[in-house]
Amino acid sequence: MSSARIPLVAGNWKMNFDHLEATYFVQKLAWLLRDAHFDYKRVEVALMPTFTSIRSVQVLVEADKLKINYGAQTVSVTNQGAFTGDVNADMLAQLGCKYVIVGHSERRKYHPEDDANIVDQVRAVLTAGMQPILCVGESMEERRKGIELDFAVGQVHDVTRDLSDEEAAKLIIAYEPVWAIGTGLVATPATAQDAARAIRSNLYETFGSKVSEAVRILYGGSVNSKNAVELISQPDVDGFLIGGASLNADELAKICRLTLKTVTSSR
């Protein structure tokens, strides 16, 4: 990855951990990284708990002055009112969230969220002073057709075409091939790099070098400590959005340490 971009290792807990389990996990992860003398200035670590656990994570992080960041897994596009079950961006910002995941394939599939809704979510997150982690990626069907790169780039373009340069520069993009999420399958380092490079090239064509070099592009899809080094070694891969492996504090800490070791040795 570029020395101008700080790697981000982000854990997406999905619908796992109540607030007590979340507190224990954050404490354990912080201890593991402290004992390893982890340098948070070189690699950023963030966790995405469920809505019910964010407040507990906030209290712990602030009380113990932890350097672990956190965010939310989705957000409503509305500000307030009669929208049962929704949580708006200002509420998340008040809880100290730094990031919000937008457009995850599970949200697109099960709720569903379309491109227009995702654009509105991105704008809501940015307006509230947080950073959206925009998820894109192809299914096995697009991959079989050989249009996987065009598909992922198209998803990015559908969102970014309505953004200003300043707004686009604040995006984080997570390339998560749908066929690799939770399946144990993982894109090869070359495949991850090809996708990240294609996305960055599209950003360059749309916004220029300043934006394209600023945006961090993460890889997600069955990331673990066995494949993390090869993936983070790719020049356009700036970190990970991790699902299953982020539910094990020892495994996540190992991925963080390996990421730090790799990027430190390459600079």
Q: What is the pLDDT of residues 244-255, one digit of tens each?
A: 999 999 999 999
Q: What is the pLDDT of residues 114-127, one digit of tens each?
A: 888 999 999 999 99
Query: In one letter, which amino acid is 198?
Result: A
Helix axes 189-207, 148-160, angle to 10 degrees: 40
**Where residue 32 falls among pLDDT bands split at 50, 70, 90?**
very high
pLDDT for the residue numbered 2: 59
Q: Which of 113, 142, 148, 176 is catalytic?
A: 176
**Where residue 144 falls among pLDDT bands split at 50, 70, 90?**
confident
| Residue 104 annotated to the active site | yes
pLDDT for the residue numbered 176: 93
Asked whether residue 42 carries a pLDDT value surpassing 80, the answer given is yes
Cα 206 from Cα 162, distance rounded (Å) = 11
**Where residue 113 falls among pLDDT bands split at 50, 70, 90?**
confident
Q: What is the pLDDT of residues 145-172, one digit of tens each?
A: 888 899 999 999 999 998 999 999 999 9
**Where residue 3 falls among pLDDT bands split at 50, 70, 90?**
low
Task: Check if the beta carbon of residue 148 is closer than 8 Å to that of residue 195.
Answer: yes
Element (H, E) at 132: strand 131-136
Q: Which of 44, 104, 113, 148 is catalytic?
A: 104
User: Rounded mean pLDDT of 208-221?
Assistant: 96
Cα 47 from Cα 26, distance rounded (Å) = 9
User: Rounded mean pLDDT of 233-246?
Assistant: 97
| Residue 111 annotated to the active site | no
The set of long-range contacts for 164-170, using a CB threshold of 8 Å and a minimum separation of 24, is: 165/207, 165/208, 165/210, 165/211, 167/122, 167/123, 167/126, 168/203, 168/206, 168/207, 168/211, 168/215, 169/207, 169/210, 169/211, 169/214, 169/215, 170/126, 170/131, 170/132
Element (H, E) at 46: strand 44-48
Residue 117 CB: number of other CB atoms within 10 A? Answer: 17
